[in-house]
Amino acid sequence: MGVIAEFTVDGPELLLKDALVAVPEISVSVEGDTASRDGMPIFYFWASGGDFQAFDAALDADEDVAEFEILETDDERKMYRVWFSRTSFYDAYRESAATFLSLVGDHRGWRLQMRFPDRESLRRYRQSYEEQGVSFVVHRLYTDRRGPGDEYGLTEKQRRALALAHREGYFSQPREVTLDHLAGQLDISPQAVSARIQRGLDALLAATLDDDLKD
């Protein structure tokens, strides 16, 4: 049975640290993540609470940010897609076979809720931070009591997006619906739908294929 950990991390090695320190009133909430062809992380996140013009300038100046674009905007927040130039601790996350449940950052660091397959994977993940001098403070740790059907590590949002995409024919050849259609059903942006589907598929593949690949 897995474990769910709620913890904070902080240190100069973390992605977006420079940009968030430069505009301390900004906070970001990661909606999805993936990796580029060369293995560099790509984050989709909402930013809110501050001067967006200053934050855009801070992203430009952040050496860890290779490129970014604004996907959606309203009066109070913006959705960004950011390509990073280094992996930071993203490799450790993928190797842990964990699942992000919540990932929120500001100038004080990142606050995370993650599902780990076991305590040993959490221990190794924590060790990867501490070896680099990054503060890792666990606030809550509890047994993962998922119900039937949760064994693949999907969040409720990922499960809903995948179920809708399957039901509506998004995975058919040719596709019967577009991301815009799914976005309308879920009341989120097409980019957010794409990110949820990608992360959900990644969790499914990790849960169903990792053991076969190790064999």
- How many CB atoms are closer than 10 A to CB 113? 17
Q: Is the pTM of this model over 0.75?
A: no
Q: How far apart are CA 94 and CA 163, in angstroms?
A: 24
Give the model confidence (pLDDT) of 143-198 as tens digits: 876 544 455 667 778 888 998 898 888 988 888 889 999 998 888 888 889 988 98
Planar angle of CA 206, 194, 41, nearest 5 degrees:
60
Which of residues 41 and 1 earns the better pLDDT score? 41
Query: Percent of the chain beyond pLDDT 70?
Result: 91
Burial of 41 (0-12, 13-18, 19+ CB in 10 A): buried
- Pairing relationship of beta strands 27-35 and 99-106 according to DSSP bridges: antiparallel
Residue 122: pLDDT band with limits 50, 70, 90: very high
Mean pLDDT: which of 101-110, 138-147, 192-201 is highest?
Answer: 101-110
Backbone angles phi, psi at 27, to 5 degrees: -125, 150
Q: How many helices (H) and strands (E) does the chain have?
A: 7, 8
